[in-house]
Amino acid sequence: MENIHATPVRRLPAEWEKQSLVQLTFPHEGTDWADSLEIVLPCFVQIAETISQFQKVLIVCRNAAETRALITNGNAVNILYEEIPSNDTWARDHGGIAVWEDEKPVLFDFVFNGWGLKFPSDKDNLITSRLYDKGHLKAEYRHGGMVLEGGGIESDGQGTLLTTSECLCSPNRNPHWSSIEIETLLKDIFGLQRVLWLHHGYLAGDDTDSHIDTLARFCAVDTIAYVQCPDAEDEHFEALQQMEQELQQFTTSNGKPYRLVPLPWPEACYDAEGNRLPATYANFLIINGAVLLPTYGVPQDEAAIAVCQGLFPDREIIGINCRSLIEQHGSLHCVTMQYPIGFLYS
């Protein structure tokens, strides 16, 4: 007889697994991009058009007709549009998180509170539920029950999660829980065996409290690419060196050291007021058959593409200039959210 009380088997997929679609939330006059739409919209358009050559893209926008008119070089069959109100554009953090439960798709909708109450998020926090209500996402819908952003977690697809204590233990996210309680919740929701915590590492200009996707990324079950600062005079040097030492202490679930691959350190980028911006090559997006790598118009871009090709030899590496994105303190991975095969109504 089937045990109806058996604990469900959950798994948080890795980004490199086969995908149904990628979600984007486009900028408009009501977002922080209001004064620079003509500069940033081409970046969003290029991301959407590029992804559409490989798989479906779901664009959340204010006006579908206006947005469709911008996208002239994409594969139109692969691009979907949905008009939903939004505060901003960071789909990685207000998007749903896909989980397999007993091999069935489940969509977890966590609370998005503007990275610890820094920015308005009332509209963004409703985007996932509205997308679900409109019939795009094929999964059982559940509320996550905690504040959590997709950019704050990295999964190897085999029960290991990589994250940072600076983000997940922020007092403006889940102050009523200790790190041990948060880890227990994550293990339950995502079916994890292990959580690897980084306690060091940051990027100047970052609003997210050190999201892991700006610092270190799983590229395979045994491989982590990470940000390395070789300049002893740079303000990041000590913190990133400490982060590197932490990564060196981590082992795979088999007890072996990870293959650690340092990413090039981009030349410092600044806004018009002289504030340093969080340029990072760790903020790449893995899609079906390709990796979209943010570039910044700096000398290190070509080396970053070469390193990324070594990490993903079977995928096409496509550089996309994201210099405009970091003006609002995020990059390419931050504006996208992927959903695995089986999560889209065709």
Residue 346: count other Cβ atoms within 10 Å of its Cβ.
5
Render pLDDT for 62-98 as a digit per residue (tens, 0 to 9). 999 999 999 999 999 999 999 999 999 999 999 999 9
Report d(CA 301, CA 286) in Å as an integer.
18
Question: Helix or strand or coil: residue 196?
Answer: strand
Only one residue has tokens 């079906």, namely 288
pLDDT mean over 27-36: 94
CA distances from 83 to 7, 58, 110, 326 (A): 38, 11, 21, 25
Report d(CA 182, CA 29) in Å as an integer.
37
Render pLDDT for 168-219 as a digit per residue (tens, 0 to 9). 999 999 999 999 999 999 999 999 999 999 999 999 999 999 999 999 999 9
pLDDT score recorded for residue 206: 96
Averaged pLDDT score across all residues of the chain: 96
CA distances from 2 to 5, 6, 125 (A): 9, 9, 38
Residue 95: count other Cβ atoms within 10 Å of its Cβ.
29
pLDDT score recorded for residue 5: 63
Q: Which amino acid, 261?
A: V
Report d(CA 127, CA 60) in Å as an integer.
8
> What is the DSSP-derived secondary structure letter of residue 257?
B
Q: Which residues contact 312 (CB under 8 A, 6 or more apart)?
A: 16, 219, 286, 291
User: Where along the chain do its domains lie?
Assistant: 10-340
Domain 10-340 belongs to what topology?
L-arginine/glycine Amidinotransferase; Chain A (3.75.10)
Per-residue DSSP letters for 140-157? EEEEEEEE--GGGEEE-S
pLDDT score recorded for residue 7: 83
pLDDT band at 1 (very low <50, low <70, confident <90, very high): very low
Q: Which residues contact 9 (CB under 8 A, 6 or more apart)?
A: 101, 102, 103, 191
Backbone angles phi, psi at 161, to 5 degrees: -115, 135
Q: Which candidate, 104, 89, 40, places its Cα nearest to that of 207? A: 89
pLDDT score recorded for residue 6: 77
Six-digit token pair at 228?
Answer: 């390395």
Report d(CA 272, CA 233) in Å as an integer.
23
Q: Which residues contact 252 (CB under 8 A, 6 or more apart)?
A: 160, 221, 222, 258
Burial class of 134 by CB neighbour count within 10 A (0 to 12, 13 to 18, 19+): exposed
pLDDT mean over 131-136: 93
Q: Which candidate, 189, 245, 253, 193, places its Cα nearest to that of 221? A: 253
